[in-house]
Amino acid sequence: MYWFGPFTPCLHAVFFRVLGSSFSTLVTAGVVGSLGVLAALFFALSTVTGRREAVLWTALAVPALVFMPSAGGSILGMGYRIWHAAAFALAALAVVLRPDAVRRPWSPALAGALAALAGLCRTEWGLATLAVAGVVVFQRATGRNGVRAQELRLLAAFLLVFGGVFAVFGLRAGWPSFTRDAPVLLLNVPAETRSHPILSGVSGWRDGIWTLLYSMAMWTGVFFLVEIAALARGDPARARRRLAPLAVVLLVLALAAWRGGGSSGGLIWSAAPLACAAACVVGLSSGRHRAAAALTGFGALGLLLSHRRLFFIEDGPYVGPPLLFAFVAAAALCSIAVGREASAPFRERWGTGIAMALVLLIGAAFAARFAEYGTDERVRIPGTGGFLSARPELAREIEGLAAAIRSSSRSTDGLVVFPEGEILNYLSGRRNPIRHKLYLPGYVDERNEPEILRELRAAPPAAVVIWRRLLGEYGAGFFGADYAREIRRWIGESYDRARFRPNASARSLEIEYYLRKVSAR
């Protein structure tokens, strides 16, 4: 059961078919995808700022986002399908925002097709991109008849590509595969997913608002400092007048710090939703022209796509791709602020100051990432080619359990790991024999648990592992205790608990290893 569109798995399947199934192949696919994301980011930045600034903002994304740790990066991480969607979304907006001199009548159709490709990675990303692209087309248009034709081309291309691909999959796999089994089309979304506030990123808003304000005040203060430095030599009177708004920003910074906003790990990125909101407001209030439409488009899309983590945004999975739009929104705001300055010498000094600040940020970001990875205490997990790592004790647990599975089962035997842990299938060389592959809350619910049980009874694996970890981020506590109780009962009836090493420590209690009872074989 796969909840998302077919683009990313099909793309990876091409790499695996050509290069073989391995972590190095996955990393190769990640590198190619990352280059595509950076190209799309540069393309989008080029529509809102100069070439120099576009290069610098793109360079900043390399250490800040592409190499984000904790499985959050685009080369080897958990969010490939979101990174791919982000690339298509960036390109879709950039296509409809190109200058009039290079736009073509088919530009809205191309944007619609790109939005559809984003939707084929993650449906909600495609729908958000389509909606925002429609707003941008409307804001750029000057005549009612012209805008109607462009909107129709945008929508028709989206429906043709998105609907056409899913029609093919529906005919081949059956419509229930993504209308009932998985909410690919946002139908039948499990109640756990709909109702759990942690998934929406707003559960801690009372504390998170102070982190957001601290982060926004910090970056706004940097912007004012660069402006004051640029004014100091040529217009000291204006520089002194800028001290008043800087003082207000510092006051907000101090208040947010007093309320704990500066102690969160997300203080660097938490300004992103507010920056996107500011860009959207400025764009909507600035008339119907390309610069205003750019602010509206990237600001609105960045705000919509930050729905998972509006507060406490920090390094981790699913955080990086929405920040790409915050980068473009911030670059657009800076470019417009500088461009509105009447004095050409000051405009040049201010632009140079922003470029120098970006260079310093790039250097600091690379240094921070090198230091972060250099002090990481995790060790490589044997058998993964050095691509995966974990805490030393957990790496030993995984290695020992994989060895125990290999020694107590045949290569043709099956292995199912609950609620997740496909790395054990990979390291032991034992396949999962049933169709459902993930058993997190929402992926397993009262509706499909009987079906999963039927599959297990029809093709019982030789070994079962229950990886006991708290699943609060999915709205439930533990597998077999707070949900999937019938599956857990069946495991207890059909399997015997096994020890996977002679001197198991207390930590091994987090991993339950079972072998099928002789009478059940």
What DSSP string describes 310-347? SSS--SSTTTHHHHHHHHHHHHHHHHHHHHT-S-HHHH
Average pLDDT over every residue of 221-233: 83
| CA distance linking residue 393 with residue 505, whole number of Å | 10
pLDDT digits (tens, 9 = 90+) for 338-361: 887 767 778 888 888 899 999 999
| CA distance linking residue 247 with residue 255, whole number of Å | 12
Buried b (16+ CB within 10 A) or exposed e, 166-176: beebbeeeeee
H/E stretch holding 281: helix 272-284
**Rounded mean pLDDT of the chain?**
85
Which pLDDT does position 142 carry in this prediction? 65
pLDDT digits (tens, 9 = 90+) for 407-426: 888 989 999 999 988 899 99
In this prediction, residue 312 has a pLDDT band, given cuts at 50, 70 and 90, of low
CA-CA distances (angstroms) from residue 280 to 92, 275, 326, 384, 493? Answer: 17, 9, 11, 44, 58
| CA distance linking residue 291 with residue 112, whole number of Å | 21
Q: In whole angstroms, what separates CA 157 from the centre of its chain?
A: 25
Query: What is the share, in percent, of the chain residues with pLDDT greater than 70?
Result: 89
Q: In whole angstroms, what separates CA 315 from the centre of its chain?
A: 11
The token pair at 32 is: 């190619």
Packing angle between helix 7-19 and helix 23-46, nearest 10 degrees?
A: 130
Neighbour tally for 51: CB within 10 Å: 10
Q: Of the given ranges (65-69, 150-154, 199-203, 288-292), which has the lowest mean pLDDT? A: 199-203
Packing angle between helix 23-46 and helix 320-339, nearest 10 degrees?
A: 20
DSSP three-state, residue 4: coil
Residues 366 and 3: beta-carbon distance below 8 Å: no
Which pLDDT does position 132 carry in this prediction? 95
pLDDT exceeds cutoff 90 at 392: no
Which pLDDT does position 47 carry in this prediction? 92
Average pLDDT over every residue of 168-195: 74
Question: pTM for this one?
Answer: 0.88
